[in-house]
Amino acid sequence: MSKILILPGDGIGKEVINECLKIIDYFQAKVPIEITEDLFGGASIDENGMPLTKDVLDKALEADAVLLGAVGGPQWENLEHDLKPERGLLTLRKELEAFANLRPAKVFPALINASTLKQEIVEGTDIFVVRELTGGIYFGEPRYNKKVEGKRVGANNLIYNEDEIERVARVAFEIARKRSKKLTSLDKANVLEVMQLWRDVVTEVHQKDFKDIELEHLYIDNAAMQVIKRPSTFDVILAGNLFGDIISDEVAELTGSLGMLPSASIGKDKAIYEPVHGSAPDIAGQNIANPIAAILSLAMLYKYSLNLDNISETIEKAVSKTLDDGIRTKDIGNKNTVTCTEMGDKILKNLAKIDSKEA
């Protein structure tokens, strides 16, 4: 039986994960899964004094996959970096070696008006960001914010070796091969040596094994502009940890709401699934969050970790159907909006209908 560790985390993380649990529960009869739930992020700091305990990390290492809500909030913002909720997330990614972060951003036809861009620009946009997740400036040493000879100095280190670049590039090329065979790699090779290495390695992997894929290199600053100008011409975007973090939020906004976007962080044999959005302390506890990003992350879990493509597609169809029905949470609608719980229930209802038709 597959084992899944659920870490709701903080803020709206708990609310959106609740809606996922209903769906997991629905499929228990078909595909039994062993579920364990634990504290993570700020919730774990309050209880245990640290964002990720050894015990929870061990459970994550034993599980087939981790489903995560979100971490962070103002009450933990002033803690030292190593004790912040975010550090727990980074440690979890690193320890599970979840090096390839997959962030699909698709414009749902029913939501085309939710985008801040003109309809004719965003129409047809379907971008798949592959972000390197366990290296680069997030983890480079030395890192500090300290006094050096009487002056405060801060430093982080953007460092990649060729193996780290190659393994994530391969994941991105493989995904491109299953989609429209187009990959755009982002760097800053005109200024940073490490990014020249990035470009060189991506080019070599392309030449060696992926000549059937159309490869484009863009500098990150230009890419930030092009993505707004011609979003529908992009397909797979490959980027390092920091550039990928930034571009994925930008791409998310194209689709109308960050509340819609799922992610999977894949390693050799472990994976973490989480919505791209954060813990949103400003709306936490009000039952108005959009659970779709979390629910679509669960769909990715069924697909990538459990190889249950059917279930994954049924969940995606149920989400689309619910949006087609005009059901909207506050972030994507303005009148007659539903709560987080209601959105979850509507999706579940549609899911049961679709599932019974297909069975």
Q: Any idea which residues carry the catalytic annotation?
A: 138, 188, 221, 245, 249
Nearer to ligand IPM, 298 or 348 (CB): 298
Nearest to residue 64, comparing CAs of 13, 117, 1? 1
- Asked if residue 31 lies in contact with residue 106, where contact means CB atoms within 8 angstroms, the answer is no
Q: Which residues have CB under 8 Å from 350's CB, separation 6+?
A: 317, 318, 321, 322, 325
In a 3-state reduction of DSSP, which class is residue 184? strand
Smallest distance from the beta carbon of 299 to ligand IPM, in angstroms?
18
In a 3-state reduction of DSSP, which class is residue 295? helix
Smallest distance from the beta carbon of 276 to Mg ion, in angstroms?
7
Q: From the list Mg ion, ligand IPM, none, which binds 235 (C-beta under 5 to 8 Å, kind-based)?
A: none
Nearer to Mg ion, 164 or 245 (CB): 245
Nearer to ligand IPM, 141 or 149 (CB): 141
Q: How many CB atoms lie within 10 A of CB 152?
A: 8
- Asked if residue 248 lies in contact with residue 103, where contact means CB atoms within 8 angstroms, the answer is yes
Q: From the list Mg ion, ligand IPM, none, which binds 331 (C-beta under 5 to 8 Å, kind-based)?
A: none
Q: From the list ligand IPM, Mg ion, none, which binds 292 (C-beta under 5 to 8 Å, kind-based)?
A: none
- Asked if residue 332 lies in contact with residue 259, where contact means CB atoms within 8 angstroms, the answer is yes
Is 274 near Mg ion (CB under 5 A)?
Answer: no
Give the residue nearest to ligand IPM (CB).
86
Nearer to ligand IPM, 92 or 327 (CB): 92
Smallest distance from the beta carbon of 47 to ligand IPM, in angstroms?
20
Q: Which residue's structure tokens are 């390839």?
A: 100
Is 245 near Mg ion (CB under 5 A)?
Answer: yes
Q: Which stretch binds Mg ion (CB under 5 A): 11-19, 193-201, 210-218, 245-253?
A: 245-253
| 123 alpha-carbon distance from chain centroid | 22
Angle, vertex CA 143, rays to CA 142 and CA 149, nearest 5? 90
Smallest distance from the beta carbon of 293 to ligand IPM, in angstroms?
12
Contacts with ligand IPM, residue ranges (CB under 6 A): 86, 89, 245, 278
Smallest distance from the beta carbon of 168 to Mg ion, in angstroms?
17
In a 3-state reduction of DSSP, which class is residue 280? coil
Q: Give CA separation, 162 vs 22, 116, 129, 188, in Å.
A: 43, 38, 20, 16
Q: How many residues bind Mg ion (CB under 5 A)?
A: 1
Q: From the list Mg ion, ligand IPM, none, which binds 89 (C-beta under 5 to 8 Å, kind-based)?
A: ligand IPM
Sign of CA dihedral 54, 58, 59, 61: positive
Nearer to ligand IPM, 15 or 245 (CB): 245
- Spatial distance between the Cα atoms of 234 and 130, rounded to a whole number of angstroms: 13
Q: Which residue's structure tokens are 């599932």?
A: 355
Nearer to ligand IPM, 205 or 293 (CB): 293
Smallest distance from the beta carbon of 279 to ligand IPM, in angstroms?
9
**Which residues contact Mg ion (rule: CB under 5 A)?**
245
